[in-house]
Structure 1
Amino acid sequence: MSARQFPLGDWGEPAERLEELYRWSEERAVEAIEWYRRDRVWKRRWARLLRFAAGVFTVGGITAPIVSLTGVLPHTLEWGYAGLALAAAALLADRAFGLTSGWMRDVSTSQALQRRLEAFQFDWASECVREVLGPTEGTAGEAAERCLGVLRRFCEDVSDLVRSETSEWMLEFRAGMSRLPTQAPGPWSNRTEVGTGAQVRVLPPPGTRPTMPRQRPPEGPLR
């Protein structure tokens, strides 16, 4: 989605100026909806392909042991293991790249934007009808302020929907990265020391007097 420059102009004709802002806000929302619809096309295609491949490989991996019992085809059991491994790899790729989840997010976000756009269009139509029939209360400045409030709320709602979808994608990406192993165990991780353990001297806590080992009293002189 490209950033659109806010239209700047002369407010000598408020009606034309408000109409220009309405067109700008509407085109901004339509562009966001079209972007999510285009983005979901390739995600849906690859998600369905990977899930179909996972289903085919799973069926092949399950039926391979049964076929191996007949002895018709050699090495059938090994091909069954390979099919199950490929099915797991297909599902893992779908989850790692976020194809199915991204497809669902695109669908829900585009529908939410479409509903908000329709509500905005009806709100704007009601404001236009009120101005055509003649305002019963308030001045022209208050009417223009109401129209600007409708435009501002709509733009903020569109930005919130896009930001919410982006936040969900970031959380999913971080969760997927956190599942990856960050440190592989070295050859010294399971190393055990052979021999007697080293004696460790425990120091007393600060402020206490160390206890000396009890010594045998000296014996008297021999007679």
Structure 2
Amino acid sequence: MSQPDMQPGGPARGDRGEAPRRDLAGRPFPLGDWGEPAERLDELYRWVEAGALRTAQWYLVDRLWKRRAARALRIGTALGVIAGAVLPLLEVTGVRDGTSRWGYLSLLLGAACLACDRYFGLTSGWIRNVATAQAVQRKLLGLQFDWASECVREVLGPAEGTASEATERCLGVLRRFTEDVAELVRAETADWMVEFGSGPAPLVMQSTGAAPGRGVEGHPSGRVPLPPGARPNMPRQRPPEAPR
């Protein structure tokens, strides 16, 4: 971006009367005249920061009902197991007759509560939501420190490079942060799909973002990694010739 009045992808769409681009949450992408790059960068930073805060808030809100339901089912499991162990003892010791069948029913209800928790993924779901929200918050904290460092460098005067290079560094910081947050969300979604029996095979292609027959960017071999336990097909080699 050598020209300060040029915007990535061409001139501002608002100048041409076209609708602004929006993200999945419906927030318009900040567009404007890049003749004032400092203002545009500040708008873009606030847009990225607001998106990260909204993502973390969504996971924190989504965990509330899952945590309450999971705790209720866990309490039901514990009560069912305790009642299933105590009621038969009452009949064995002669304290009260006919309690064994109620003990079996309690064990059945406890097992049903545990099965519902496992089937609907409530405990694992709210724990996964907490972990993802904390990871997004850690990334956001790192972004804030990196952005403060770039701002201090700009105020004190760039030690190296030009203003356009400083703008490109700021855009690189924002882009890496956005990609990191998107990767966290993708990984959480992949774990959720695996938990509900989607199978690991389609997730390999989804996680790497490669199409069949194409290499994987960032992988050392440039290929899609093989699943655990699979053996690669080695090319046949000619046997060494005998020395003459």
Q: TM-score, normalised by structure 2?
A: 0.70
Separation of aligned partners in 1, 2:114 and 2:25:
33
Structure 2 residue aligned with 1:158? 181
1:132 aligned onto 2:158: no
Task: Say if 2:90 and 2:97, in contact at 8 Å, map to a contact too.
Answer: no
Give the length in aligned residue pairs: 176
Name the amino acid aligned to 1:115: R
Larger Rg: 1
Q: Which residue does the alignment assign to 1:53?
A: 76
| 1:78 maps to 2:97 | no
Give the aligned residue type for 1:41. Answer: L
The answer for the alignment partner of 1:169 in structure 2 is: 192
Shift of 1:175: 6.0
Matched, 1:15 2:38: yes
Runs of 4+ in 1 over 3 A off after TM superposition: none
Q: Distance in 2 between matches of 1:72 and 1:125?
A: 72
Paired position in structure 1 for 2:132 = 109
CA distance in 2, matches of 1:5, 1:75: 68
Question: Structure 1: 5+ residue runs without aligned partners?
Answer: 177-223
TM-score (norm 1): 0.76
Q: Which runs of 5+ in 2 are unaligned?
A: 1-23, 200-244
Counterpart in the other structure of 1:32 = 55
Counterpart secondary structure, 1:9: coil
Equivalences for 1:112-123 in 2 at 5 Å?
112-123=135-146
RMSD of Structure 2 on Structure 1 (CA): 1.4
Structure 1 residue 3: Cα displacement: 4.2
If asked which structure has higher relative contact order (CA below 8 Å, sep 6+), I would say 1
What does the per-residue CA deviation read over 1:124-179, in whole Å, with 9 as the maximum and x for residues that have no partner? 00000000011121110001000000010010001000011001001101169xxx
